[in-house]
Structure 1
Amino acid sequence: MIQEFFDAMTTHDLTRFRRLCGQFRWLAIFMVCSVGALLALMHIVAPAILTARGDTRIDPGIWLEKAVWATPTLFYLFAVWSIGSALGQLAKGRLIQPVLGRALRHVGIALGLGGLLSVFGITNISRLIGGEQGSFAYFDVAGMTLGMIGGALFLLGRVVDQADRIQSELDGMI
């Protein structure tokens, strides 16, 4: 069904769509690289340099806790990377249904895990390493929302995969 829509597109529309997919792919790459570099600089490079210089202002416990609080961002960046990868494949002319199903599953898993970690993991991991005390769940509405959206996207990806398999079977019968 989705592929039939793209088959009906004119050559100009398809070329424009692929060009936009390629541009969004590069935007995703830029976002992942720039945010990833900033995270690495803040949580790995700068503390390591300060520690190597003998700066006593760096408390390893606080540094570790801040690094733990940043971990959901890694899952969110993987979701953006997965979107960029899918758009890059579409820009190269791959069929949309297999690409879409895989992308939805990867983005769904990444957002779901990031949201779960944000809501339930961070506070408990912080408590284990001796950080802050508090409840067993951090009621981060954004994290909860991303977790739910991730679960829904994962399920939609499975539906798209199933539709693709059924379409292949029907095409084989004709």
Structure 2
Amino acid sequence: MSQTDIALFRQRCAQFRWLAVFMVTSVGALLALIHFVAPGVLLARGDYDGTPGGWMSDLVWALPTVFYLFAVWAIGSAMGQLSKGRLIQPILVHALRRVGLSLGLGGVFSVFGVTNIVRMIEGGRGGFAYFDVAGMTLGMIGGALFLLGGVMEQAGRVQAELDEMI
């Protein structure tokens, strides 16, 4: 790679980092507005007609999004590290593990956790699993990324060992 290509790669990594920061903060702010600020304002005005259980159910339904936003944050963090010129292999290992774990947990929670916790809150209505193809897909991709991060970590150790022998 030429110096121009490296500089362009770092610039794009920095841009992607800021895109990730923008996405996490904007979506996080919207989630906070929808689930905390608006109900709080309505409650303070005396116009809130929902139940505490309904509010809790809405929070539980939004919880997988927090895991997904953490995955985006982890990717943005890795891109920020790369834009500063840090080594790709250790950053990639760390990012794959964090992104994989958060996507996997978000997907599993989306399919199994949400429905069962909402069932407990609402008194037994609903099924044991939510047929959420996107959640299932993200969970599987997350698990695969987590495993690939482990393989890359092992490859880095083997490479370091081989470098010591030479």
C-alpha contact (below 8 Å) 2:21/2:73 kept by paired residues: yes
Deviation at 1:56, TM superposition (A): 3.8
C-alpha contact (below 8 Å) 1:61/1:131 kept by paired residues: no
What residue is the counterpart of 1:41 in the other structure? 33
Provide closer, same or farther for how the CA distance between residues 154 and 113 of structure 1 changes in structure 2, counting only shifts above 3 A.
Answer: same
Count of equivalent residues: 166
Deviation at 1:130, TM superposition (A): 1.3
Residue 86 of structure 2 aligns to a residue in which SS? coil
Report matched runs for 1:14-53 at 5 Å: 14-53=6-45
C-alpha contact (below 8 Å) 2:39/2:48 kept by paired residues: no
Distance 1:20 1:154 in 2: 25
What residue is the counterpart of 1:121 in the other structure? 113
Question: Which stretches in structure 2 are left out of the alignment for 5+ residues?
Answer: none
C-alpha contact (below 8 Å) 2:64/2:109 kept by paired residues: yes
What residue is the counterpart of 1:75 in the other structure? 67
Question: Which stretches in structure 1 are left out of the alignment for 5+ residues?
Answer: 1-8
Deviation at 1:58, TM superposition (A): 3.0
What residue is the counterpart of 2:161 in the other structure? 169
Greater alpha carbon shift after TM alignment, 129-138 vs 66-75: 129-138
Residue 122 of structure 2 aligns to a residue in which SS? coil
Amino acid at match of 2:105: L
What residue is the counterpart of 2:79 in the other structure? 87
RMSD of aligned residue pairs (Cα, Å):
1.0
What residue is the counterpart of 1:101 in the other structure? 93
TM-score relative to the length of structure 1 = 0.93
- Kindly provide the CA deviation profile for residues 107-131 of structure 1, in whole angstroms up to 9, marking residues without a partner as x: 0000000000000000100011116
Runs of 4+ in 1 over 2 A off after TM superposition: none
Seq. identity, %: 69
C-alpha contact (below 8 Å) 1:116/1:143 kept by paired residues: yes
